[in-house]
Homo-oligomer: A and B are copies of this chain.
Amino acid sequence: MTEAAAAVPARRPRGRPRKPPEAQDEGNRRQELLHAAARLFRQKGFAATTTRDIAAAAGMRSGSPFYHFENKAALLFAVMEQGMRAALQIQATALQAVPPEAAPDARLRTLVRAHFDVLLGAGSDFIPVMLYEWRSLSAAQRAGIARLQRQYEDAWADTLQALAAAGRVQADAHIARLMMLGALNWSVQWYKPKKGASLDDLCDQAMQLFAPQRRPR
């Protein structure tokens, strides 16, 4: 009778399956939650995604996400914030490669190309969630994300002013920015990687539409 007491229910197979050690580092579980949340929020929407869905996708039990995030809303905010910070970095890095004295055309092309990376590049669920779930944010959260968005769009404003001043874009610079970003943002609805155009192709097409090369006379 040393082995076990009959009344004690048999233990389950010794805990849950362990993750490989390199996945257990400090903030990695938080990142796993964020990626799972971004994917699910994009696929099903914020309200239709349960915290249980997210926990399961990250290999946790239902209560565990609340160890990393105060509540579901904080998860949404974190997805958008991380998405915008990555976007700002992609944009800044791209702009470093084009000298400030370059033609505004070249600057626009760089912005368009970077934006396709932001929207459609690897790990591209974060920004689509932001584009889709704005209404699910509280007023305070919106203000926080809007600050980052303004920073991102300011880079466009300068370039479009220059293009408008040069007559390379005939529409009003402000409206042109809204419409160009809209045209690009919409691509998250229809673009399928691996099938058809590359991001470079898309960038070429967008440039031809928005600021076509003047034909040789």
Contact = CB atoms under 8 A, between A and B. Distances in A.
B132 A208 contact: no
Interface residues of A, number: 39
Q: How many copies does the complex hold?
A: 2
A170 B209 contact: yes
Interface string A24-64: 00000000000000000001111110000000000000000
Given A170-B212, A186-B182, A45 B43 contact: no
Interface string A162-195: 0000010111100110111111111101100000
Contacts of A106: none
A93 B18 CA distance: 64
Contacts of A45: 45-47, 135-136
A215 B166 CA distance: 13
A44 B205 contact: no
A74 interface: no
A84 to B, nearest CB: 16
A202 interface: yes
Contacts of A215: 167
